[in-house]
Amino acid sequence: MSLEAQNPVQFDDLYRDLILDHYRRPRHKEPLADATVAAEGLNPSCGDEIRVELRVEDGKVAGIAFGGLGCSISQASASMMTEEAEQRTVADVDTLSQQVQEMLTHEGFDVDAVEIGDLEALSGVAKFPVRIKCALLAWKVLDIALAEARGEQATSDSDIPVRIASTN
């Protein structure tokens, strides 16, 4: 018997339909024309890789795209991130990133208290400690890209190595 069959409710919580949809049909998974900043990162515990490209104009995320490979949670999280971040101000996207990371790392996080849209679908990940870094990866990469866009030095978490990349 598969793990999914033994724990149908639990796994339904992790692999919500929206997550599987983003994994199967990723949004913004293509090179971004005229990217102004790019960053990439690795989740060593699962082997997930994510690259994020941003085009920041007038303090706004005018364009965002990602590339990468890895498990469904890592790729869906990145795809959902690009949808929610596009056309928002850098400051708003920064706030969104902090809220999503709080949600992913705290089981029982009050999703109704924040405006995170479809990203709420990722809230179940908090119940699965081994998958949290998979979902966090895209956001850690986004953080360092946003910091670079603001001309700041981002601090990198050694658990999830991220770095600024070339935009070509």
- Under the binding rule (CB under 5 A), the answer on residue 53 touching Zn ion is no
Distance, in Å, from the CA atom of 26 to the CA atom of 7, rounded to the nearest integer, reads 27
The single residue among 48, 86, 94, 143 that binds Zn ion, judged by CB under 5 A, is 48
Q: Considering only CA atoms, which of 110, 56, 114 is closest in space to residue 85? A: 56
Shortest reach from residue 45's CB to Zn ion, in Å: 8
- Under the binding rule (CB under 5 A), the answer on residue 134 touching Zn ion is yes
Shortest reach from residue 63's CB to Zn ion, in Å: 26
- Under the binding rule (CB under 5 A), the answer on residue 77 touching Zn ion is no
- Under the binding rule (CB under 5 A), the answer on residue 138 touching Zn ion is no
Residue with tokens 């990602």: 66
Q: At what angle do helices 17-24 and 72-85 cross, to 10 degrees?
A: 90
Shortest reach from residue 134's CB to Zn ion, in Å: 3
DSSP annotation string for 6-61: HSHHHHHHHS-HHHHHHHHS-SS-SPPTT-SEEEEEEETTTTEEEEEEEEEETTEE
The single residue among 63, 74, 85, 104 that binds Zn ion, judged by CB under 5 A, is 74
Instruction: Return phi, psi of residue 59, to 5°.
Output: 75, 10
Q: Considering only CA atoms, which of 23, 50, 62 is closest in space to residue 161? A: 50
Contact window for Zn ion (CB under 5 A) among 12-20, 46-54, 96-104, 115-123: 46-54
Residue whose CB is less far from Zn ion, 74 or 123: 74
- Under the binding rule (CB under 5 A), the answer on residue 71 touching Zn ion is yes
Shortest reach from residue 74's CB to Zn ion, in Å: 4
Instruction: Tell me the site size for Zn ion, rule CB under 5 A.
Output: 5
Contacts to Zn ion by CB under 5 A: 46, 48, 71, 74, 134
